[in-house]
Amino acid sequence: MTATVERKSALRLSKVDRFLTFIRIFLVSLIIVGILAFVAQQISPENPFARWRNPGARALTGDQFKGLLMSGLSQGAMYGLIALGYSMVYGVLGFINFAHGEVFMAGAMTGFITSDKLAANGLWESNFLLSLALVIVLAIVVSTLAAVLIERVAYRPLRDSPRLIPLITSIGVSFFIQNAVLGLLGPSTKSYPQLPKWLSTMRVVDLGEVFVWIAGILVVSGLLWYLWRGGPGEKDPTADAGERPIAEKVSQVAATLGISLPALRRLVSVLISLLLLGFLVPEKILTFEIVGTKILVLVVAAVSMGVLWYLVERTKTGKAMRAVAEDKEIAALMGINVNRIIVTTFAVGGAMAGVAGILWGLLFRSVTHMTGFLPGIKAFTAAVVGGIGNLGGAMVGGMSLGSAESLAPLMILEPLGVPGVSQLKDAVAFTVLVLVLLFKPAGLFGERLSAEDRT
């Protein structure tokens, strides 16, 4: 009897494997054929291969491609900021907070209400920077309070329950917040005030110069930090006597900077890559026309990610977060206040969602009570694509998802003759998720799980 059951299970498993293999081959083939057709269009729109599925095929200009790429990266940066909250909560509590999209919506709505009142009083036009700072601060405060309140009211009483229960609760909280905002503010679309011309106009950006400046800033910052920490210090007497002097010095530099040796190597690789791109790639390729709001989105997202990395990796609070994420019981025995760290995690995730909400409002200038639903789902997708629980992976997953949404419809679907490609961005996003799960289920950068989850 047991042998029969095992044979049936093996047969069923083999059928599933064959089906998944078929899906992999089909999707990869579709992508390859679409890209080849796109390349053929770029070479010559009259190319028979380019017109075999789409007689009205037309090539993309370099400026159009750059515009799509910048749009995708800016939208992906907002997905990444929202995804950080998903990854942080999952890393600490081990469940997905599906109400996080509504925390993002609360920040966007707060930004609208504040900016609308400031515009009514004339302050939005007369002193935009002060108004923007006030809007960002209020949005962060409201989103942070919303996240903390959700944790205290909805999740803490269910802390020791099976994971399915808080997961279902998060969906209920999401619907409750949506309908609460609907009842308070109505179903109509709320529009942010007009942005100043210096922010909404197109600007020419030479990424080569930007790469060189970034590399220079990183080098100078690392040097100043190295000198401030006191230089290489004394040689470790326990070090292997046969260790090479250069390797020893590199290890000392990494220790002084407060990073691991692999991280230092990756940083040096990034610096060399940026310098090579800045000096060797032709200026025409690296010159982009970008609207000011998209530059603002990318800069704020980069700064937010840097601040979050410093908080998690270089502070006592961040060390406590990582300890609680690894094992809550052992962390409590070591004297860490687990409840306070969990609340801090929700607060930091809510702050990132508040920043994303303001950037969303400034970029698209319209919000509704449903604004958080689809971006929230896509941010969760970005977190899975990058590797759930991995903060860097969440941001890279968001950028990858936004870029795929922007580029894939015109680079893959339109050459294949698919109608209405502009309406298929959401389908592209979830197809990316399917592809990642098929080829690398742990995400692009791997999951970061607690000891309990790994067991």
At 191-235, the pLDDT tens digits run 999 988 888 888 888 777 777 777 777 777 777 766 776 555 444
Q: Which amino acid is at 316?
A: K
Asked whether the predicted pLDDT for residue 281 surpasses 80, the reply is no
Structure tokens that stand for 358 in this block: 């303001």
| pLDDT number for residue 387 | 87
Asked whether the predicted pLDDT for residue 110 surpasses 90, the reply is yes
Fold of 62-194+292-416+444-454: ABC transporter involved in vitamin B12 uptake, BtuC (1.10.3470)
Asked whether the predicted pLDDT for residue 448 surpasses 80, the reply is no
| pLDDT number for residue 454 | 47
CA neighbor of 394 nearest in space, from 413, 381, 411:
381
Asked whether the predicted pLDDT for residue 236 surpasses 70, the reply is no
| pLDDT number for residue 3 | 56
170 pLDDT tier (thresholds 50, 70, 90): very high
| pLDDT number for residue 276 | 75
Asked whether the predicted pLDDT for residue 286 surpasses 70, the reply is yes
Give the Cα separation of 402 and 394 in Å (integer): 12
- C-alpha distances (whole Å) from 306 to each of 81, 255, 363, 395, 421 are 12, 20, 22, 11, 35
Share of the chain above pLDDT 90, in %: 30
Q: Report the pLDDT averaged over residues 107-121.
A: 93
| pLDDT number for residue 243 | 46
Q: What is the DSSP letter of 156?
A: G
Give the Cα separation of 363 and 168 in Å (integer): 32
Kindly calculate the radius of gyration of the chain based on its CA atoms and give it in whole angstroms: 25
- Taking a C-beta distance cutoff of 8 angstroms, is the pair 255, 236 a contact? no
Q: Which of 12-26, 171-185, 234-248, 438-452 has the lowest mean pLDDT?
A: 234-248
Q: Report the pLDDT averaged over residues 296-313.
A: 88
Indicate the pTM of the whole model.
Answer: 0.85
Q: Report the pLDDT averaged over residues 158-168.
A: 86
CA neighbor of 450 nearest in space, from 89, 85, 84, 166:
89
Asked whether the predicted pLDDT for residue 367 surpasses 50, the reply is yes
| pLDDT number for residue 13 | 61
User: Going by C-beta distance under 8 Å and a sequence separation of 6 or more, which residues neighbour residue 138?
Assistant: 110, 111, 114
| pLDDT number for residue 241 | 45
| pLDDT number for residue 193 | 92
Higher pLDDT, 8 or 121: 121
Q: What is the DSSP letter of 59?
A: P
| pLDDT number for residue 116 | 92
Asked whether the predicted pLDDT for residue 319 surpasses 80, the reply is yes
At 7-37, the pLDDT tens digits run 655 556 677 788 888 888 888 898 888 888 8
Q: What is the mean pLDDT of the chain?
A: 82
Asked whether the predicted pLDDT for residue 172 surpasses 70, the reply is yes
User: Going by C-beta distance under 8 Å and a sequence separation of 6 or more, which residues neighbour residue 30?
Assistant: 412, 416
Higher pLDDT, 45 or 340: 340
Q: Which of 178-182, 283-287, 335-339, 398-402 has the lowest mean pLDDT?
A: 283-287
Give the Cα separation of 222 and 213 in Å (integer): 14
Asked whether the predicted pLDDT for residue 5 surpasses 60, the reply is no
At 36-76, the pLDDT tens digits run 888 877 777 677 766 666 666 666 777 888 888 889 999 99
Helix (H) or strand (E) holding 183: helix 164-185
